[in-house]
Amino acid sequence: MKLWIALFLLIVVIFISGIFVERSILKTTDTLSHELDLLQQHVKAERWQEARKLCGEIERFWSRQKHIWAPFIHNHELDTIAATFTRIVTLLENEEKSDTLVEIAVVKVLLVQLHHQEILTLQNIF
């Protein structure tokens, strides 16, 4: 009987921690999407200094989150997003408007995919 209670408690802890991780990921992807929208507006208006500053902040935020998410998410997706941020930084330094906007769009798509992969649905479970 004690074994069943211990197993039940373990399942509850796993389930609650899964919900916590899911909510954390969703909150972070929403925050990043909002910041990327602001970055996109700066680039469209050719405010390069503000764009570089904001991109640095986004990249630092992503770096912290990447280390937190690493045990829960495939590293390939995390590395792809990090590589795209590196390209964005380089493009901002060269003030290349169209290429920067493309890379920002790529990060947004990657975040949406990550969001859909990590939410708790029956399709993701099975």
Residue 72 DSSP code: T
82 part of a folded domain:
yes
**CB of 39 closer than 8 Å to CB of 58:** yes
Q: How many domains does the chain have?
A: 1
Instruction: Please report whether residue 80 resides in a domain.
Output: yes
Looking at the domain assignment, is residue 3 inside a domain? Answer: no
111's CB contacts (< 8 A; 6+ apart) are 29, 32, 33, 36, 81
Supply the pLDDT for residue 54: 94
- Cα–Cα distance measured from residue 77 to residue 80, given in angstroms and rounded to the nearest whole number: 5
73 located within any domain = yes
10-residue mean pLDDT profile of the chain (126 residues): values are: 88 86 84 93 93 92 83 78 91 92 93 74 53
Q: Are 111 and 81 in contact (CB under 8 A)?
A: yes
Burial class (CB in 10 A: 0-12, 13-18, 19+), 76: exposed
Would residue 6 count as lying in a domain?
no
On the 0-12 / 13-18 / 19+ scale of CB atoms within 10 A, 50 is: middle
Q: Which of 114, 91, 111 is nearest to 32 (CA)?
A: 111
Q: Which domain holds residue 80?
A: 36-121
Is residue 58 one of the residues assigned to a domain? yes
DSSP state of 119: S
Residue labelled with tokens 């602001």: 38
Question: Is residue 65 in a domain?
Answer: yes
Spatial CA neighbour of 28 closest among 123, 114, 91? 114
In a domain, residue 54? The reply is: yes
pLDDT at 126: 53
Per-residue pLDDT at 90: 92
Q: Is the pTM of this model over 0.95?
A: no
